[in-house]
Amino acid sequence: MKKSDWKWLGIGAAVLAGLVGLAFYRGLFRYVLFDPAWNYKGMAVQPGDCSAGNPEIVELASGCLMMYTHGQTKDSHPSENNTYARSSCDGKTWKWEGLVLKMASMPTAIRLPDGKIRLYFIRSGDRSGKAIKGMMSAISDDGLKFTEEPGYRFELAGDAPRPDEMDKFRQYYPVPGEGRMEDIKDFAHLNVAKMDDGYRVYFDEGAMRADPQKYGGKAWPLWRERSIFSEDGLHFRLDPRVRIDVGQAPLTQMQRSSNPSVVKLKDGYHLFFFAGFSPWEDLTPWKRLAWSGTYEAISQDGLNFTILNWPRFPGNDAAVIRRGDKLLAYPGRAQAQRRECSDVMMFERKLTAKEK
């Protein structure tokens, strides 16, 4: 080989090494470096419509599972956002059970000590001519036929601004102490978890935006994880501080943390959430994909979480449950023909010795 050939080979190797280093620095390998402990088990739900959004799963007294989702079927009115159910006894094959509640979104459910299922959901309404929005609940003996419980468990001042009304979004604000209910302008993606002394519902707080002085017209919406707590599952109060915040280490560029799912294991509470890295938001979609995925954080008290770096598995809106000595995860994946609709994937990993 000629001396000049060696020179160009060296230059090429240096350029390649630089590109690889830059890719790691920018996080571009996050998309392919998912946790190998999570094994892809195929598609769990492919409805052919928009009825499989935001999956949440509860184990029934029989040991079988019920999955609740929201959206619309082909027969629904486009303005409806209903809650539907699917059942499974093996976690892999899901049977369509149909409509559970009309005009009820973001469902999450928990089995109570008496075996009944309490379903929490979000609904907008009107009171004396004023728009209201909040979390309501319903109770069921079998997980299918629900009776709504009167009143709101957690109520906001009204509907949040639309995404095209960014001038109405409030700028991101810190929550050093208890926080105030009136500061929360929008919330979504409920997930209920049993605590030692009651029930905690984790949710996304939205209707905030990035600093317009820093980002100008790219001051996109922000999302972060908050929670409310109740001893009896009916009367909730706001928890102090934030569970997963924007820019929280080690995900310092994270601007969206959403879709919480909490599982209690022997070593603590494991919170799975979707992370978005918005310095690239609204700029280059493939860069956003390179960063995004479902991440994991661990807490001893269900309030203060430490984030584990690198995503666990792809997708968002994941429902994660314990099943024997395994964790099963059901994240959503946008449909090829209708990006606004989701199918549901399935991933599985074995519990470690410290988790069992």
Position 3 in a domain: no
Which two structure tokens, joined as six digits, stand for 294?
Answer: 């479902």
pLDDT of residue 168: 81
Position 24 in a domain: no
Position 86 in a domain: yes
Position 178 in a domain: yes
Whole-model pTM: value is 0.89
The predicted-structure confidence for 246-260, as pLDDT tens digits, reads as follows 989 988 888 889 999
Position 185 in a domain: yes
With a CB cutoff of 8 Å and minimum separation 6, the contacts of 10 are none
Position 2 in a domain: no
The predicted-structure confidence for 118-142, as pLDDT tens digits, reads as follows 999 999 877 766 778 899 999 999 9
Q: In the beta sheet, which residues pair with residue 200?
A: 193, 229
Which two structure tokens, joined as six digits, stand for 190?
Answer: 């409920």
Position 13 in a domain: no
For the chain, how many structural domains are there in total?
Answer: 1
Phi, psi of 246 (to 5 degrees): -65, 140
pLDDT of residue 348: 98
Quote the CA–CA distance of 69 and 292 in Å, as a whole number: 22
Position 16 in a domain: no
Quote the CA–CA distance of 270 and 293 in Å, as a whole number: 16
- Give the structural domain span for 54: 34-350
CATH number at residue 54: 2.115.10.20
